[in-house]
């Protein structure tokens, strides 16, 4: 059987698995040799230009696959972008209903969220890891820094409690084994002994996950930088989540989809408002923040207590996380990648 030639533009790892389906498709880089275009958006910049060019000259099928949580809002106010694609593959019922409301019922199909296929089991690990995920806007946001520094204060406070607990013994001997039983300093001279901070903060360890837009010099905690445009972006995210005990953020977004799929508690610190993103002004409040029953929203002053509640009872909102996954991200009993492939084949073969 003929294998359609696809010109693919990937983002957030949404189309990474599709690009592995070499038994079904051929993948081309030459814009003049494709049977269909599969992209993560058609509304802005070069993707919009490509969609318009294709519509006018090549007239080949153009398929968009939803790339982020709630990104279908871009086709409504205040942006009111035009859907140029022949088909839009959305994750679940919520985005489908939104696109129907915008007038695109005949071009929308629910395929499920491809990210869910990439979730992996959580890995056993020592201690407790608190992962901070800053919001992504057009630049660094002060809410990120305020929340991160509060988390850093909490980490230092918990580490300080550890030192206090062993203060009397440590005054007699600066011995790593007092903090971590069995651990020894390789140096022979006791006055040169050191105790790694990782030994002290292991039961409350702060890590951040950032991308290029964030001001990394202000992220004093260890941080991992991922790149949404890279093929392995999602894999890097789930590897980080596999050793995470609690996610802290200031907005529910796409990364939180993966955290929910891996049944990891999520805490959202109140106070963030989206004012500017993608050059669009949201200061009039046209964009409503996602707020689901699967996350706990707290004031900054209650952050320490909230984290401890989730560490003590990580399964407290497991049922709610599963419900949100089903509602927002489609029927997880079917394979989203196969569903997307079937949409492409139908347009190429029957279009």
CATH code, domain carrying 59: 3.40.50
pTM here? 0.91
Of 54, 49, 10, 12, nearest to 31 by C-alpha is 54
Give pairs for 239-242: CB < 8 Å, separation 24+. 239/120, 240/131, 240/207, 240/209, 241/122, 241/131, 242/120, 242/121, 242/122, 242/123
Same domain, yes or no: 55 and 96: yes
Residues in the chain where the model's pLDDT stays below 70? 276-279, 282-289, 331-332, 351
Q: What backbone phi and psi angles, to 5 degrees, belong to 263?
A: 60, 45
Same domain, yes or no: 196 and 106: no
pLDDT at 63: 98
Same domain, yes or no: 49 and 188: no
Residue 122 lies in a domain: no
Residue 10 lies in a domain: yes
Same domain, yes or no: 271 and 230: yes
Same domain, yes or no: 229 and 261: yes
Residue 45 host element (H or E)? helix 45-53
What does each C-alpha distance from 326 to 35, 132, 284, 290 come to in angstroms?
33, 25, 31, 16
What's the number of domains the chain is made of? 2
pLDDT at 268: 97
pLDDT at 241: 97
pLDDT at 150: 98
Same domain, yes or no: 76 and 143: no
Residue 96 lies in a domain: yes
> Using CA atoms, how far apart are residues 318 and 311, in angstroms rounded to an integer?
13
For residue 196, give its domain range: 129-329
- CATH number of 160's domain: 3.40.50.2000
């Amino acid at each position: 059987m003929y294998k359609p030639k696809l010109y693919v533009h990937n983002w957030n790892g949404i189309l990474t698995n599709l690009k592995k389906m070499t038994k079904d498709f051929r993948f081309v880089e030459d814009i003049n040799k494709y049977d269909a275009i599969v992209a993560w958006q058609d509304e802005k910049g070069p993707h919009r230009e490509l969609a318009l060019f294709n519509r006018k000259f090549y007239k080949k099928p153009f398929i968009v696959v939803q790339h982020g949580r709630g990104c279908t809002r871009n086709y409504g106010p205040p942006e009111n972008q035009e859907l140029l694609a022949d088909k839009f593959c959305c994750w679940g019922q919520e985005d489908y209903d939104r696109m129907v409301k915008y007038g695109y019922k005949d071009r929308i199909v629910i395929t499920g969220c491809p990210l869910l296929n990439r979730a992996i089991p959580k890995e056993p690990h020592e201690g407790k890891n608190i992962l901070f995920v800053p919001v992504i806007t057009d630049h660094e946001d002060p809410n990120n820094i305020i929340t991160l520094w509060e988390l850093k204060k909490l980490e230092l406070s918990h580490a300080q409690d550890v030192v206090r607990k062993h203060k009397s013994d440590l005054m007699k001997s600066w011995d790593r084994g007092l903090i971590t039983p069995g651990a020894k300093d390789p140096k022979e001279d006791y006055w040169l002994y050191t105790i790694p901070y990782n030994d002290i903060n292991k039961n409350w360890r702060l890590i951040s996950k950032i991308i290029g837009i964030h001001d990394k010099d202000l992220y004093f905690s260890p941080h991992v930088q991922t790149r949404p445009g890279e093929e392995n972006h999602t894999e890097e995210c789930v590897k980080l989540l596999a050793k995470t005990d609690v996610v802290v953020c200031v907005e529910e977004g796409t990364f939180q989809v993966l955290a929910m799929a891996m049944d990891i508690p999520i805490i959202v610190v109140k106070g963030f408002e989206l004012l500017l993103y993608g050059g669009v002004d949201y200061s009039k409040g046209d964009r409503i923040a996602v707020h689901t029953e699967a996350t706990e929203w707290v004031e900054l002053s209650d952050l320490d207590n909230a984290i401890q509640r989730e560490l003590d009872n990580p399964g407290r909102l497991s049922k709610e996380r599963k419900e949100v996954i089903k509602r927002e991200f489609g029927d997880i009993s079917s394979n989203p990648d196969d569903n997307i492939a079937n949409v492409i084949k139908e347009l190429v073969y029957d279009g």
